[in-house]
Amino acid sequence: MAAASCPSASCPSAPGPVRTLDDLPPTPFHARLAAVAAGGPFCDGYILGIVGIALPSLAQDRHLSSGGIGLVGASALLGVLAGGTLGGVVADRLGRKPLFTLNIAAFVVLSLLQAACPDLATLVLLRFLLGVAVGADYPIATAYVTEFMPRAWRGPILSGLILSWWVGYTASYAVGYLLSLLGDDFWRAGLASSAVPALLLFLMRAGLPESPRWLAQQGRIEEARAVVRRHLRADLPLGQESQGALSVMQILRSRYRGPLLFVSAFWILQSAPGFAIHTLQAQLLTQYHVPGALLGSFILTGLTVLGILPVSLGLINRVGRRPLLMSTFAVSLAGLLLLGAAPAPAEWAVFLGFTLYSVAEAAGSGLQFVYPNELFPTAIRATAMGLACSFSRLGAAFGTFLLPVGYARFGMQAMMLVAAGCMLLGLLISWRWAPETTGLRLDDTPQPPAHLAAGSLSDLPERTTR
């Protein structure tokens, strides 16, 4: 994950005095932190992806119905629903550091237990608990990275975490495909294989400091300054925010409700069809009568990297958040219409449709970690991120459960058109409500209001490059 430069007229790293953490030049510690933080999304993508390629083997071994297939695919996503909210609340109240390492230990243990699971119910439970750990990592890791990164790197690094997610997701398909060559009943080894990267990440995250922004928000100013002096080699006049964390209900009643609804809406509309299609990619290709479905699903999943890589290399700064979001919804819509418009599309049309959708959906997903962390202040950043993540995974779980049931009842073309409708709605919502936050300092993010009153996106500040 590298941060490319941007034009001087809009570059968030324009020269100027170093007054805040946003103004610091990138350091080796920033690079190390980005690499370590990327391990979490890698494991998350691997854990959520490996089930997609293991499902055909599992379904054959356990004689699963379409409902059973959907339940296994959706169980981890339902866990993310619980883990995102829980992890965000805990991170805002107890700090980013404690769970930054501990939840990775759960990855290791639960991954290994899948290899010995005796029945479907136990597997669903283990996948759910893995989802809880995955969901907790999203708000913790992204808030942690956001609060250390200078403006020049923040957008590329946060979208780079999504790139890491897709690399992990693609790696799971590669490992799953290789394991499938050993025999038809490879699903146990495939699901347990996520313990390997999780163990490495557990060792890498040990010894990292607490977020200085969180420490300052808690009034622990000297501790915050000590972290900055030791790890960033700077001495900054950090100040305490005027208000503490808000509860979930207070956030929903405050002027942050509007930004939260926007973030949740676009994330749900990306994730609901996205997780369903990627998790069931091999089975979808089979339904379209494409030969070599497992290999084809691996190739299509690998193409997602082509979508997110330019975003994490600096396109997100040059193009801007708002245009990027709208354009990716538009291209995703075109790909899904190609899949759903014809009753029996040719093989080339199937691959083209899935390629357009996969590349564009991956590029748009680069904003899933960016918008929530830029639109909310330190006091509620992790909670808001966790809520948005949870809402999105609820939609993703329903999509993953309903897609196999839907195509069994209504046909594949009908389900692709439903997914296209989600893209169209996402495009309209982005056009109407997506703000531009490129160049925004975290210090410019609006603070929690003294009197909680309902509001909208109009409460957000104008874009600034001060």
Structure tokens, 408: 């069994």
H, E, C per residue of 16-73: CCCCCHHHCCCCHHHHHHHHHHHHHHHHHHHHHHHHHHHHHHHHHHHCCCHHHHHHHH
Closest to 378 measured CA to CA, from 448, 461, 460, 453: 448
pLDDT of residue 449: 41
Question: b/e string for 218-238 if b means 16 or more Cβ within 10 A?
Answer: bebbebbbebbeebbeeebeb
pLDDT at 45: 86
| pLDDT number for residue 245 | 60
Kindly list the structural domains of the chain, giving each domain's residue range(s) and its CATH number in brackets, ordered by start: 21-459 (1.20.1250.20)
* Whole-number pLDDT of residue 243: 52
Q: What is the spatial distance between Cα 245 and Cα 249, in angstroms, rounded to a whole number? A: 12
Mean pLDDT by 10 residues, the chain (466 residues): 40 52 84 87 87 78 73 79 83 82 87 85 89 87 86 85 84 84 79 91 85 86 89 76 62 81 91 78 76 76 81 86 94 91 78 89 89 85 85 74 72 83 94 87 54 40 36
How large is the angle between the packed helices 381-410 and 120-148, nearest 10 degrees? 140
Residue 372 to residue 211: CA distance in whole angstroms: 17
Can you give the pTM of this predicted structure? 0.71
What torsion do the CA atoms of 54, 277, 368, 337 make, to the nearest 10 degrees?
Answer: 160
Place of tokens 């759960």: 106
Residue 308 CB neighbour total at 10 angstroms: 27
